[in-house]
Structure 1
Amino acid sequence: MGSPADLLDLDAELSDTELATRDRVREFVDRRVRPDIARWFADAHFPRELVPELGELGVLGMHLEGYGCAGRSAVEYGLAAQELEAGDSGIRTFVSVQGSLAMSAIHKHGSEAQKQRWLPRMATGEVVGCFGLTEPGAGSDPASMTTRARFEPGAEGGDAGGEWVLDGAKRWIGMASFADVAIIWAKVREPQDDGSERDRVRGFVVPTSTPGFTAVPIEPKLSMRASVQCDVTLDGVRLPADAILPEHPGLAGPFACLDEARYGIVWGAVGAARDAFESALAYAQGREQFGTPVAGFQLTQAKLVDMALEITKAQLMALRLGRLKDAGRLQGHMISAGKLNNARIAIDVCRTARTILGGNGVTLDHSPMRHANNLESVRTYEGTDEVHTLVLGRHITGIAAFR
């Protein structure tokens, strides 16, 4: 039976395979996340024991082809993200960092040797990855990053025996304190055909055991408490010549990965909103005031209707983007539209759901306020409302208003 928030029978638009994927992930969340998520959130604990189970579930890099990855469709990945975030944004964020960022960077931009070395073990969860782009002074403007990489040739000159040396700092890097490998983006001074030099952003595969790599969790947090975000310091980190990702130098490299993560957010936010709505609905149907179930009051029904309408519209947007992505027709501004809209409405739904729960809604016995707190982070990362608004403004007007 579909959710009461599905006002248009959107389940009928999904294939049997898509429904099976959704239901399999939903069962996992019901069994392994819901019973403990309140405690994990309260204790600021990420359940690392779930990592190999998520690998076995097939959701780590599930939209990637080959190298032990599941090769599922964009819609299936979206449905998985939606169900994971219905459990908690922190769990979906881990899957996103692992698959859409770290694994995607290697899959899109890495050498064959890098893919063979890392991707199969990342797909099973044996190896955990992180993605280092954001810096203390460079969030929405990654072009202003100050992390640098320089190449020191070997004794014979050229690449043989040479090393890359990385120096800099990154911030808000998910899972970095327990990751086995980090994808670090840094500026490299590269010669041009005319004899000049210019900075280019390049990606590097950095085993986190490398001397000079340090990751410290950012604490305390009011959001994403069942997840880990870190400050990363790179102090003379030395890497072999083949640590560089050979494909797509420039910011197009990390941006392609960010688009994958943003796409997952479009779906994930719907899951959080739906879970908050269902929690509020169940409470309203069971709690009586003035001799009447709270769900029987007109003002409460108005809130429930407004929430269901927004969730249904957000689900339509997510499904449309998924179909476009599977058809190879998804464009960047479309992802911005989905991320901006769905993260924004999800927070509003969760806050409204909390009001139906009354004072009980501020406890961790109920999910809406936890979801709302998490969504403050989801709304910010992978592009703030302001950035996505300007992306859409540029698409509509043809004029970039970023500077």
Structure 2
Amino acid sequence: MHDIRAIRDDPAAFDAALARRALPAQAEWLVALDERRRRTTAAAQDAQTRRNDLSKQIGQAKAQKDEVRATALMAEVADLKARLPQLEEEERAIGAELDAALAAIPNRAAADVPEGKDEDDNRLVSEWGTPRAFDFDVREHDAIGPALGMDFEAGIAIAGARFTLLRGGIARLNRALGQFMLDRLVAEHGYEEVAPPVLVRSEALFGTGQLPKFAEDLFRTTDDRWLIPTAEVSLTNLVRERVLVEGELPLRLAALTPCFRSEAGAAGRDTRGLIRQHQFDKVEMVSIVTPDASDAEHERMTRAAEGALEALELPYRRMLLCSGDMGFSAARTYDLEVWLPGQARYREISSCSTCTDFQARRMNARYRPEGGKPQFVHTLNGSGLAVGRTLVAVIENYQQADGSVAVPAVLQPYLGGLTVLEPAR
């Protein structure tokens, strides 16, 4: 959410920020709408003040038995009484229009974000690891997985397209990945483990920026709740409508949850395998910090996600997303892309974003500095990691010529010492 006062103070800077997001200038229209709202508010307040003053004068006129004056004053009060609801409704309508307009505008890109239109304009920041050299023809995960218990047909039969059923060893490996990621975040990076609701109210999704703009990408229940597309929604809303003490910050929260996305805009994309599913598991990180700590926290969070990939010995690269490829609420985003030998390309496995005070304004989440007035917190979120995509990366990078998959060393304790997933014979 944007601060209309900041837009009034520097409309040119706001329009320049919109231009970086490939959006047209809007400051003039927003400021004009705000002026209408402020004039209407002032008129309503003046009318109410006048009505209160006239009520006192009516009492004085009646005490003086001046019925002519009292009658004239009562007529003016009646006129104001009829006019006030109209002014209040006009104020409400203009305010709602302004709020809706502000809520539909994405966050400003940070100064170091490169300008661009799409993923082709993203900037490579760093690379880690060397892709494995295979002495046999590598296969994609959807060719290897079925013999290990990855049942695409059963998932479709039960729930429809973009659902997969895992069983046996592959289901255990999937569970091990989630536990491994969560344990690392808690033990090594100081995150607090949370088991949050996966059904939320509309206001929670508004707070993190999924509503109203992206309603078609979500699943909605008949009682007006929504299935979370990411645990970011549940975790970030823990500070909704709160004023925290500065000493409580930073808050670092992590959760392993199922996530649900309708993929409304993804027709024909990654229809095979686990890359783009309606339901998937993900370990999510959320940080709530003071504004001066958010840049350092963004790097810390990204390194936590990178550490999981390094522990799994999966080659990856860090990309700084351009202004045209960032999410709605993000001011800066690092994507981590893991090497998939079956596809011979890097694919996104984590996004780590700082949202500055954008979400905090939508949630009215603030903190009170010692001796100061409440200020909006900064919020950050990141995948640590997407479990299904990590499963894909492990299967493809650790595949063997006989169709088996070696278990990464860090996961073996979670599987009772199992070192290899063997295909069904």
The two structures share one fold, judged by TM-score above 0.5: no
Q: Identify the TM-score tier after normalising by the shorter chain.
A: under 0.3
Larger radius of gyration: 2
Under a length normalisation based on structure 1, what TM-score does the superposition of the two structures give? 0.23
Higher helix share: 1
Under a length normalisation based on structure 2, what TM-score does the superposition of the two structures give? 0.22
